[in-house]
Amino acid sequence: MKKDEKEAGILLREVLRAAAKRNNTEALLLSGGLDTSILAVLSNDENKSKKALTVVLDGTHAPDLDYAKKVAQKFHYEHHLIRITESEALGEIPMVIRAVRSFDPALPNDLVIYAALKEAKKLGIKSVMTGDGADELFAGYSYMHELSHEELKTYITALSKTMWFSSNKLGAFLGVEIKQPYCDRAIVDFALEMDPGLKIKEKNRRRYGKLLLRKAFEAELGEVAWREKDPIEFGSGTTKLRDVIRRDISDTEFERKKREYGMEFMNKEHLFFYEIYKTVVGEIPRPEGKEKNICPLCKAELPEDRFHCGICGFSYPLGRWRKGFYQQRKTLKP
């Protein structure tokens, strides 16, 4: 898609507005980050009392809070702020693990989504919109910024075929329908066709991903359009749970249990989540048949063309993908 920035931005707004309309819901999971704030702009209808849900861990510095409040107020949302205590959050972890059937170290992110969807169900909300897919399709992750334009285009194309989100599992578990406008076929096609140079650029001596999204909605969102990408756990404050978990597991116990389970856990939280997984889910499913890709950490089956294990969260480094990319390109040359 060879278009200049202004023309591409206008087209993106049109395509995304139509996608948001096709994926309309009763409520929006609003973090106050770029992706969900754009959806707040596009799915807003002042003639209805649309709801926005934001989760923060009580007693923490949660950057999402101020941004989400501003966005909800500006675009006339009925804002539901869900404050969860440390003990409540820790108490919900087994249910989150049961729902996603994983002990991925990123579970504090899933906990936030679970708390929001649980509140939605309590409020009688049957469908919720999320910002899933924007980072994957528009280069929101910092590790993507080191890729060349050719690599980025190939990588995002491959990622678009395998990306999945825990919000789908959590929604199914709680009986709340999840809709994801950024995963709409029209948006996926737009993202795959657009010039990679419009996804990542430097501005004010800083490198930004999702550049076209930021530019296209800067007029409505102001500073929010240039908010840095942070994992959900940082924005909500649930990253504090990691410190709580680490304090309860000594270094000696951590090393002993790694030997006992025969698994090289990434950190103490990983071990903590695994022990809950064993209780609420059971044993790690083993691959059937010999010709299977195996996760080097938990030994579960690693689906073909995936570099991330959905059971334990293990990911191969980007360098491994890049090596395969250049080997394949060399093979394809005449």
Residue 201 β-bridge partners? 208
Tell me phi and psi for residue 280, to 5 degrees: -95, -20
pLDDT at 205: 81
Report pLDDT digits (tens) over 293-330. 889 999 998 877 677 899 999 988 777 667 665 555 54
Residue 54 β-bridge partners? 81
Query: How far is 138 from 210, CA to CA, in rounded Å?
Result: 5
Predicted confidence (pLDDT) at residue 1 exceeds the cutoff of 60: no
- Joined tokens for residue 156: 């995002």
pLDDT at 25: 95
Instruction: Sketch the domain layout of the chain as residue ranges.
Output: 5-236, 283-332
Query: How far is 271 from 104, CA to CA, in rounded Å?
Result: 10
Query: How far is 3 from 110, CA to CA, in rounded Å?
Result: 37
pLDDT at 202: 83
Q: Give the residue carrying structure tokens 């691959």.
A: 287
First-last CA distance in the chain: 26
Predicted confidence (pLDDT) at residue 38 exceeds the cutoff of 90: yes
Query: How far is 101 from 118, CA to CA, in rounded Å?
Result: 17
Query: Angle CA(31)–CA(33)–CA(273) in degrees, nearest 5?
Result: 55
Mean pLDDT of the chain: 92
Percent of the chain clearing pLDDT 90 (strictly above): 80
Are the CB atoms for 119 and 301 separated by under 8 Å?
no
Q: Give the residue carrying structure tokens 């807003």.
A: 44
Are the CB atoms for 293 and 279 separated by under 8 Å?
no
Report pLDDT digits (tens) over 114-141. 999 999 999 999 999 999 999 999 999 9
Q: Write down the CATH superfamily of domain 5-236.
A: HUPs (3.40.50.620)
Q: Binning pLDDT at 50, 70 and 90, where does residue 332 land?
A: very low
